[in-house]
Amino acid sequence: MTDKPVLVTGAAGFIGHATAHRLLDRGERVVGIDNLNDYYETSLKEARLATLSSREGFVFHSGDIAAPNAVAALMREHGITRVVHLAAQAGVRYSIDNPFAYQHSNLAGHLAVMEACRHQPDFGHLVYASSSSVYGDRPMDGAGFKEDDAVDSPVSLYAATKRACELMSTAYAGLYGFPQTGLRFFTVYGPWGRPDMAYFGFTRKIMAGSPIEVYGEGRMARDFTYIDDIVDGIVGALDNPPETGTNRILNIGDSHPVGLMDMIATLENALGREATKIMRPMQPGDVTATYADVSALHALTGYKPKVMLAEGLGRFADWYRGYYGPK
Q: Is 13 in the site for ligand NAD (CB under 6 A)?
A: yes
Q: Is 169 in the site for ligand NAD (CB under 6 A)?
A: no
Environment class of residue 216 by beta-carbon count within 10 Å: exposed (0-12), middle (13-18) or buried (19+)?
A: middle
Is 158 marked active-site?
Answer: yes
Catalytic residue among 102, 128, 135, 158: 158
Q: Is 88 in the site for ligand NAD (CB under 6 A)?
A: yes
Site for ligand NAD (CB under 6 A): which residue of 82, 163, 194, 248? 194
Q: Is 258 in the site for ligand NAD (CB under 6 A)?
A: no
19 — alpha (psi -120 to 50), left (phi > 0) or beta? alpha
Residue 208: count other Cβ atoms within 10 Å of its Cβ: 8
Q: Least separation, in Å, of the C-beta of 235 and ligand NAD? A: 15
Site for ligand NAD (CB under 6 A): which residue of 4, 29, 37, 261? 37
The span of 53-61, 86-94, 199-207, 297-305 binding ligand NAD (CB under 6 A) equals 86-94
Separation CA 66–CA 22 (nearest Å):
26
Would you give the DSSP letter of residue 282?
P
β-pairing, 258-259 with 221-222?
A: antiparallel
Q: Least separation, in Å, of the C-beta of 42 and ligand NAD? A: 8
Q: Are 18 and 228 in contact (CB under 8 A)?
A: yes
Q: Least separation, in Å, of the C-beta of 1 and ligand NAD? A: 23
Using CB under 6 A as the binding criterion, the count of chain residues that bind ligand NAD stands at 28
**Residue among 15, 83, 6 at smallest CA distance from 45:** 15
Site for ligand NAD (CB under 6 A): which residue of 8, 21, 31, 34? 34
Q: Is 86 in the site for ligand NAD (CB under 6 A)?
A: yes
Q: Least separation, in Å, of the C-beta of 45 and ligand NAD? A: 5
Nearest residue to ligand NAD, by Cβ distance, number only: 13
The span of 64-72, 231-239, 292-300, 317-325 binding ligand NAD (CB under 6 A) equals 64-72
Q: Which residues are bridge partners to 58 per DSSP?
A: 30
The span of 29-37, 134-142, 247-255, 280-288 binding ligand NAD (CB under 6 A) equals 29-37
Q: Is 134 in the site for ligand NAD (CB under 6 A)?
A: no
Q: Least separation, in Å, of the C-beta of 193 and ligand NAD? A: 7
β-pairing, 82-85 with 6-9?
A: parallel
Q: Is 187 in the site for ligand NAD (CB under 6 A)?
A: yes
Q: Least separation, in Å, of the C-beta of 282 and ligand NAD? A: 19
The span of 12-20, 116-124, 174-182, 250-258 binding ligand NAD (CB under 6 A) equals 12-20
Separation CA 21–CA 52 (nearest Å):
7
Q: Is 188 in the site for ligand NAD (CB under 6 A)?
A: yes
Residues in CB range of 173: below 8 A, 6 or more apart: 179, 180, 245, 246, 247
Q: Is 14 in the site for ligand NAD (CB under 6 A)?
A: yes
Separation CA 69–CA 71 (nearest Å):
6
Separation CA 85–CA 178 (nearest Å):
14
Q: Is 66 in the site for ligand NAD (CB under 6 A)?
A: yes
Environment class of residue 274 by beta-carbon count within 10 Å: exposed (0-12), middle (13-18) or buried (19+)?
A: exposed
The amino acid sitting at 211 is P
End-to-end CA distance of the chain: 44
Interacting residue ranges for ligand NAD, rule: CB under 6 A: 10, 12-16, 33-37, 45, 64-66, 86-90, 105, 109, 129, 131, 185, 187-188, 194
Q: Which residues are catalytic?
A: 158
